[in-house]
Structure 1
Amino acid sequence: MNHFQKAIANKEFLITAEVTPPKGGNPQRMLEVAELLKNRVHAVNITDGSRAVLRMSSIAACYLLLQRGIEPICQVTGRDRNAIALQADLMGAYALGIRNILALTGDPLKAGDHPKSKAVFELESVRLLQLIEQLNKGFDINNKPLTDGNLDLFAGAAVDPQSNSWSGLQRRFEAKLLAGAKFFQSQLITDFDKLDLFMNQVAIGCDRPILAGIFLLKSAKNALFINKNVPGVNIPETIIKRLEKAEKPLEEGIKIAAEQIKLAKNICQGVHLMAVKKEDLIPEILDLAQIKAISNS
């Protein structure tokens, strides 16, 4: 059992953080940032072409983290690979020692830096979860045996408690549960009343940890950019005004993130921290939120 699974089994308040792999062959900054998080989070998420922007392979980046004793969660999307490639990558990830997978559909190509590339989307997130379950049982997508051994991957999924379609949210959440999701990481949360409603109406009794997405806002301009460019996100005017009035907006953003962690702690089983290009500030946010260092032993 890995540290992340162990923490889930022990019903600990879970802390994960997102780190972007490099755009190029030098992983130095990624590794330095991940080292800072080593005893502060249960696992580090490595993104897989987030926002359809080219980055190093999430599997390769996760392996580099493993070599340094840092537990990764490897994000895998269905956007860029067909079923053959997805199965090959999942088998390769397992052989390299990667166990935690976050199964995602993937952002649309038009949002990224290769808008003329061809999307695949043969499998979206639910079918990707089903595929992982199949591989774990020792069979490929065509129900043929894996002659060289089954996998044992610990798969999770994304969830958006702030979705405008409550019925759609419930349907997708239940489908992911049935497909074998063992944990859920949410999109950026700003409405904690909606998160509370989700926990008490949709996720109640599911016995799977839900981690609330906490995003470090660097300025009012940053918040407005996210509202404009990230689907489904609506950062409230009160937060934007607070950032506008602050003498030091980044410090105010750190305070807001710490406050949100405290709110989440009373509602769900963990938080997933996103601090794009400022991941080194995550320990400061956790200190302010009175979250102690983690013993991964």
Structure 2
Amino acid sequence: MHNQQNNKPLDAFRKAAEAGEFLITAEVAPPKGGDPCHMVEMAATLKGRVHAVNITDGSRAVLRMSPLPASVILLQHGIEPICQMACRDRNRIGLQADLMGAYALGIRNVLSLTGDSVKAGDHPDAKGVFDLESIRLLQAIDKLNHGFDYNDKPLTDGILDLFPGAAVDPQCPSWSGLQKRFERKLQAGAQFFQSQLITDFDKLDKFMDQIAAGCDKPILAGIFLFKSAKNARFIKRVVPGVNIPDHIIERLEKAQDPLEEGMKIAAEQVQMAQQLCQGVHMMAVKREDLIAPILNLAGVKPVNELVPV
């Protein structure tokens, strides 16, 4: 059995965030089934290139292994996880229970999410729970970090020390709604923000300038690898709130090698993000092995060589 000593918490992500370094994270999906080999293989290609690896929690309401054991498996392979936690499938008892378990097993980074509607996924007849949403989940984490449960009753067996983050969508059509939720997430204790995939860098610039200015918490721009024009159209159709401009789809369509073109587009976007915010969150569904080459194309050094911004 892995005890706390063997399973020593990894906290490079938090240290880099607090030191003001340019942060790099990437997303890996847990397996659908009991064999984590492919997930571990993909995450291993990111060692030394990212500060931490996000493990998704039933993204798009599609069934996969729970992010908690998947995150522990990464820890056992020396890879620091950011365990995503969505409010869709568990009530406040289940969420707090999982947070305590995550902490005891050495997980330190948690991304608080409301979660996609079950109607979007592969079990549309399932019951969505949504007892809490992302802001209340952040509040719950903050209470646990101060030694109290959601009802303000003291924890009798040790407090938690989790590093909570939240999602943000700088391309949100409602500017006032975006500002309000961002401020509420900050107040609830979010220590970092990972964005939805960004294609409009003018909007990101405006968000950094008008909403995030002075918040002193790192914002990581979501960078997505489009593998082909067909792939880009699919993402535009199925992922809520995503708008992919025609010029990107056209570039992919005209390219002799669409995958290579997609990598170039992602690398260009990483370079744009470097001018605007404190990090990038890389998403390359089923091709996580291409994230390191994209970072190379963008001229981003391995994480141990990065300096504070």
TM-score range for the pair, normalised by the shorter chain length = over 0.9
C-alpha displacement of 1:230: 1.2
Structure 2 counterpart of 1:267, from 271, 276, 290: 276
Amino acid at match of 1:140: D
Alignment correspondent of 2:114: 105
Alignment correspondent of 1:88: 97
C-alpha displacement of 1:231: 1.5
Amino acid at match of 2:222: G
Q: Describe the superposition over 1:250-279 as per-residue Cα deviations: whole angstroms up to 9, x where unpaired.
A: 000000000000000000000000000110
Amino acid at match of 1:211: L
Q: Describe the superposition over 1:70-114 as per-residue Cα deviations: whole angstroms up to 9, x where unpaired.
A: 110000000000010001000000000000000000000011111
State how 1:23-172 maps to structure 2 within 5 Å.
Answer: 23-172=32-181
Q: Report the RMSD for the aligned CA atoms in angstroms.
A: 1.1
Question: Which structure 1 residue ranges, 4+ long, deviate > 3 Å from structure 2?
Answer: none
Secondary structure, counterpart of 1:266 in structure 2: helix
Amino acid at match of 2:135: V
Secondary structure, counterpart of 2:303 in structure 1: coil
State how far apart, in whole Å, the 1-side matches of 2:49 and 2:130 are.
35
Asked if residue 6 in structure 1 is aligned to residue 15 in structure 2, the reply is yes
State how far apart, in whole Å, the 2-side matches of 1:201 and 1:135 are.
32
Alignment gaps of 5+ in structure 1: none
State how far apart, in whole Å, the 1-side matches of 2:58 and 2:47 are.
23
State how far apart, in whole Å, the 2-side matches of 1:272 and 1:294 are.
14
Asked if residue 223 in structure 1 is aligned to residue 232 in structure 2, the reply is yes
Secondary structure, counterpart of 1:271 in structure 2: strand
State how far apart, in whole Å, the 1-side matches of 2:71 and 2:37 are.
13
Secondary structure, counterpart of 2:111 in structure 1: strand
Amino acid at match of 1:89: D
C-alpha displacement of 1:226: 1.2
Amino acid at match of 2:63: L
Alignment gaps of 5+ in structure 2: 1-9
Asked if residue 246 in structure 1 is aligned to residue 261 in structure 2, the reply is no
Alignment correspondent of 1:22: 31
C-alpha displacement of 1:9: 1.6
Structure 2 counterpart of 1:194, from 188, 203, 213: 203
State how far apart, in whole Å, the 2-side matches of 1:111 and 1:60 are.
24
Amino acid at match of 2:231: N
TM-score of the two chains, using structure 2 as the length reference: 0.95
Identity among equivalent positions (%) equals 71
Q: How many residues align?
A: 297
